[in-house]
């Protein structure tokens, strides 16, 4: 056969064989990829739910043998410490109301009762202790602040804190909005919904 079609037939057949081999390789690669993904997911699930292994009826060793690549990938998974959810106030005491506090200086005097006048020193911040957002400080003014404790003259968190402090005691307290100025804020300085941070000290009971 001397026609161009006859000449092209072997080439077409060869190309067809090449394409067939490529398709087979692609299918094999996709199957391996699928097994790797499934293996990784299942292995991670096993590591997170080891106590439920018997309930699931999964033979871990058999599974590892069936998907070595997936299990190997899962075994190298480690939590990134940069994303760890660490509580900066883990050493604070949390009350039923949600106030957090830490005693930084022990007191040795009496504890006030509701209705008594107390003299205090304090510093208040937004966004954490010693942040650049200090909004008030009796220490900076050089003048202690006095009020009648437990009489609603101050924010709720202050009444709660000072009613459990001894004279001479100093604390750091963290007040959620409901114990501070709530959603309304205050004076154009404290925004609504703000958590407040105070360093407070009970100087004496008057």
Q: Give CA–CA dist 145/120, Å, rounded.
A: 5
Catalytic residue among 44, 92, 129, 135: 135
Is 92 among the catalytic positions? no
- Establish whether 7 is a catalytic residue: no
129 catalytic per annotation: no
- Four-CA torsion 17, 21, 22, 27, nearest 10 degrees: 140
Alpha helix locations (H) across 2-132?
A: 4-48, 53-56, 60-66, 68-75
Pick the catalytic residue from 63, 89, 129, 136. 136
Q: Is 197 a catalytic residue?
A: no
Which entry of 101, 181, 190, 197 is annotated as an active-site residue?
Answer: 181
Given the residues 159, 173, 198, 199, select the one marked as catalytic. 198
Catalytic residue of the set 122, 145, 162, 197: 122
Interior angle at CA 157, CA 152 and CA 161, nearest 5: 100
Cα atoms in the Cβ-side hemisphere of radius 13 Å centred on 25: 6
Rg of the chain over CA atoms, in angstroms? 35
From the centroid of its chain, how far is CA 70?
29
Concerning whether 155 is annotated as a catalytic residue, the answer is yes
Tokens representing 81 are 């410490």
Active site residue 198: yes
Question: Which residue out of 101, 155, 159, 199 is catalytically annotated?
Answer: 155
Match 């209705």 to its residue by tokens.
115
Instruction: State the catalytic residues.
Output: 122, 135-136, 155, 181, 198
């Amino acid at each position: 056969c001397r026609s161009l079609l006859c000449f092209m037939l072997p080439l077409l057949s060869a190309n067809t064989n090449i394409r067939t081999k490529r398709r087979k390789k692609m299918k094999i690669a996709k199957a391996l990829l699928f097994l790797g993904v499934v293996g990784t997911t299942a292995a991670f699930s096993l590591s997170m739910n080891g106590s439920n292994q018997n309930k699931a009826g999964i033979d871990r060793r058999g599974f590892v043998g069936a998907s070595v690549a997936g299990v190997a990938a899962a075994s190298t998974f480690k939590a990134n410490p940069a994303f760890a959810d660490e509580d900066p106030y883990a050493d604070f005491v949390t009350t039923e109301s949600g106030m957090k506090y830490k005693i930084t200086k022990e007191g040795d005097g009496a504890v006030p009762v509701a209705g008594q006048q107390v003299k205090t020193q304090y510093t208040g911040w937004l966004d954490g202790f010693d942040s650049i957002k200090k909004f008030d400080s009796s220490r900076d003014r050089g003048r202690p602040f006095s009020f009648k404790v437990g009489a609603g003259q101050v924010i709720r968190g202050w009444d709660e804190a000072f009613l459990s402090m001894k004279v001479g005691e100093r604390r750091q307290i963290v007040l959620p909005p409901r114990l501070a100025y709530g959603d309304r804020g205050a004076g154009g300085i404290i925004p609504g919904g703000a958590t407040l941070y105070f360093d407070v000290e009970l100087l004496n009971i008057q």
